[in-house]
């Protein structure tokens, strides 16, 4: 395979990895809050977070395009801080991917946190563990399955992202030309050979990623013994 194609693959993996890490950092406290809160606004937040599951990626991409424009608040702020537009940049793709894959990180975590973890936190408090201490020593080990599912789903989902990248990426080689864009272009220009090769790679990588989750869940119990 020629060089541009490999760089697209590498770029896509990078995007998926960074997006997943960002999602882990912002998603974990959010999922925790959702699991604990008794606020009446909880369903509103849950609906918002679930939106990327049902909206066409083009809708998301469209609004992102407008929000990232230097004329708008977000885009303008970004230009003033970095001197570069948010659209057509890798950072812009990360932001788009984070929103696009948000429910895939938050929902499995929230489910894990709403189970037996809740009572275990009370037990931990009775054993003099502070909430932060209890979170890391009890909640996290008891939620390993949820974490694994969330991480793998977010990663795999971002690998396959197309609509959002198409709308705001600008197809810049080695910056925003992801593997799905590359495949699309090959199909458009009737390079079916290259399209097959890249599609096969993406299919295999995605399948192996998902397979690893299911094998992990089968082999290990619902939590990890430490």
Partner 1 sequence: MSASKLVIATRTAFSGFELDLEVALPLQGVTAIFGPSGSGKTSLLNVIAGNLRARDGRIVFGDEVWQQANPGIWVPPHRRGVGLVYQDGQLFPHLSVLGNLDFAAKRAPEAGAGHAFGDIIAAMDLGDLLDRDPQTLSGGEKQRTAIARSLLTRPKLLLLDEPLSALDSARKAELLPFLETLKSQFAIPTLYVSHDVDEVSRIADRVLMLDAGKVAGFGATDDVLSRFGLEAGRNPYENTSTLLGIVDEQSPGSDLLAIRVGRGQIWLASDLALEPGTDIQLKISARDVSIATTRPEQISIQNMIEAEIVSLNEAKRPAFQTVELSVYGQRLDAVITRKAVSDLALIPGRKVYALIKSATFHS
Partner 2 sequence: MFGALANCSEPQARSTATVAVATNFKPTLEQLAADFETRTGYELETVSGSTGKLYAQIVHGAPYDIFLAADQARPKRLIQDGRATHQGRFTYAIGGLALWSPRKAEITPDSLIEPELSRLALANPDLAPYGLAAMQLLDRLGLTETLQSKIVFGESVGQTFAFVSTGNANLGFVSAAQVLALPEDVRGSYWLVPRQLHDPIAQDAVLLEGSGQNQAAVAFFSYLQSPQAQETIRLSGYRIE
Which parts of this chain interact with partner 1 (CB under 8 A)? 116, 119-120, 122-131, 133-134, 137-138, 141-142, 222-226
One of 6, 10, 26, 84 touching partner 2 (CB under 8 A): 84
Q: What are phi and psi of 87, to 5 degrees?
A: -70, 155
Could you tell me if 27 and 113 are in contact, meaning their C-beta atoms sit under 8 angstroms apart? Answer: no
- Does residue 75 belong to the site contacting partner 2 (CB under 8 A)? yes
Q: How far is the CB of 72 from partner 1 (least distance, A)?
A: 43
Residue 66 within binding range of partner 2, rule CB under 8 A = yes
Smallest CA-to-CA distance from 185 within 159, 200, 166, 158 is with: 166
Q: Which is nearer to partner 2, 150 or 166 (CB)?
A: 166
| Minimum distance, C-beta of residue 155 to partner 1, in the bound complex (Å) | 24
The rounded distance, in Å, linking the Cα atoms of 148 and 122 is 24
Nearer to partner 2, 65 or 120 (CB): 65
Taking CB within 5 to 8 Å according to partner kind, which of partner 1, partner 2, none is near residue 132?
none
C-beta of 67 vs 125, nearer to partner 1: 125
- Which of 7, 14, 171, 206 lies at the binding interface for partner 2 (CB under 8 A)? 171
Task: Enter the tokens of residue 155.
Answer: 């990663």
170 touches partner 2 by CB under 8 A: yes
Give dist(CA 18, CA 155) in Å, integer: 9
Sequence-ordered alpha helix ranges (H) in the chain: 3-36, 42-54, 57-68, 73-82, 90-113, 117-126, 131-134, 140-142, 144-159, 163-168, 179-188, 192-219
Stretch that binds partner 2, among 13-21, 70-78, 122-130, 142-150 (CB under 8 A): 70-78
Answer yes or no whether residue 91 interacts with partner 2 by CB under 8 A.
Answer: no
- For residues 43-56, one letter each, b for 16 or more C-beta atoms within 10 angstroms of the residue's C-beta and e for the rest, the string is eeeeeebeebeeee
What residues make contact with partner 2 under the rule CB under 8 A?
A: 65-66, 68-72, 75, 84-85, 87-88, 166-168, 170-172, 185, 187-190
């Amino acid at each position: 395979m020629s060089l541009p194609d490999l760089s697209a693959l590498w770029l896509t993996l990078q995007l998926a990895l960074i997006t997943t890490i960002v999602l882990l950092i912002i998603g974990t406290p959010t999922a925790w809050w959702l699991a604990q809160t008794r606020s009446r606004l909880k369903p509103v937040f849950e609906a918002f977070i679930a939106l990327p599951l049902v909206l066409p990626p083009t809708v998301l991409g469209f609004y992102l395009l407008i929000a990232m424009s230097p004329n708008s608040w977000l885009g303008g702020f970004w230009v003033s801080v970095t001197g570069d537009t948010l659209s057509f940049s890798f950072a812009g793709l990360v932001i788009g991917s984070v929103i696009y894959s948000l429910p895939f990180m938050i929902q499995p975590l929230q489910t894990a946190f709403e189970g037996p973890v809740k009572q275990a936190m009370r037990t931990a408090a009775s054993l003099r563990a502070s909430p932060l201490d209890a979170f890391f020593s009890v909640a996290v080990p008891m939620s390993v399955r949820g974490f694994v599912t969330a991480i793998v789903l977010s990663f795999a989902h971002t690998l396959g992202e197309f609509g959002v990248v198409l709308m705001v990426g600008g197809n810049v080689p080695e910056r925003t030309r992801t593997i799905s864009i590359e495949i699309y272009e090959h199909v458009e220009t009737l390079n079916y050979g290259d399209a097959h090769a890249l599609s096969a790679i993406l299919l295999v990588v995605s399948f192996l990623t998902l397979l690893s989750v299911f094998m992990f869940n089968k082999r290990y119990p619902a939590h990890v013994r430490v």
